Amino acid sequence: MAADQRSKQLRALIATAGVRLVPDLAAIDRAFVHESYAREFKQPSNERLEFLGDSVLGAVTAAWLYERFPDEPEGELTLRKAWIVNDAQLARTARRLGFSQLVLLGAGMRNAGGAENASILADAFEAFVGAIYVRYGIERARRFVLREHIERLEHDAGAPLDAKTRLQHHAQAHLGATPSYVDEDHGTPQQPAFVSRVEVNGRLLGTGHGSSKKLAQQAAARDALRALELNGSVRDEA
C-alpha cells in the first residue's frame, strides 16, 4: 500500500473514534506492526499496545454489559463478555474496518496469508484500541469500541446464547481450546436416542441425552456449563 493511501486510511479509521485532526500517525501506525515485521525490520511491535488494549476493551465491554443487562447474574455477563471479545468477533470487525490492508507482516507471514489470520487481526484490533487510549484517552477509545464493535453485534436481552455457543465462547476465551463432542447412537429408527459427551483439552466436562444428535450436544453443553459454574471456573475467569 502506498504511503499516502495508508495515511488516508489510518486517518479515516481514527475518525471513527471521533478524532479529526491527527498531526502524527506514528503512534497509531505502531498498532499494526506484527512481531514478524518488527523482527524483520528491527522496530517495536504492537504487543505492548495489544496488552493495554485488551484491558481497555475488557473494561469498556464489562461496563456496557453491566448497564445493558441489569438483571443478569455474573456468570451470564461473563459469557456474553467472552463472546464479544473473542478473536472471531474482533477479527470480523477488524476486516470490516480494513485492518487486513493495514497490518504490517514479515515476508513469511505475509506470504502465508497472515493478513487474514483471525488471531493477528484480533491482536491488531486490541492494539489499535490501546493506541487510541494512549494518544487520545479513555473516552475516545470507549467511543470507538462501542460504535464500531459492540453496538454492531446482536444482543438478545430475552434469550441467552444457546448452550453450545456459550460453552464454545467461554472455552475459546478462557481455556484456549474449542469443545469437541463424541456422539453415540443408542436408539432405533422408531425411537432415536443419542448420548453426547463434550470435552475440552481432553477433559470430559459434560454428558447429555436427546432424541437427536443436536439435542444431545446441547444437553452436554448445558451439563458442562453447570460444572464450570459449580467449580467456579466461569466466575474466576471473568
Residues that are catalytic: 54, 126
Cα Rg of the chain, angstroms:
21
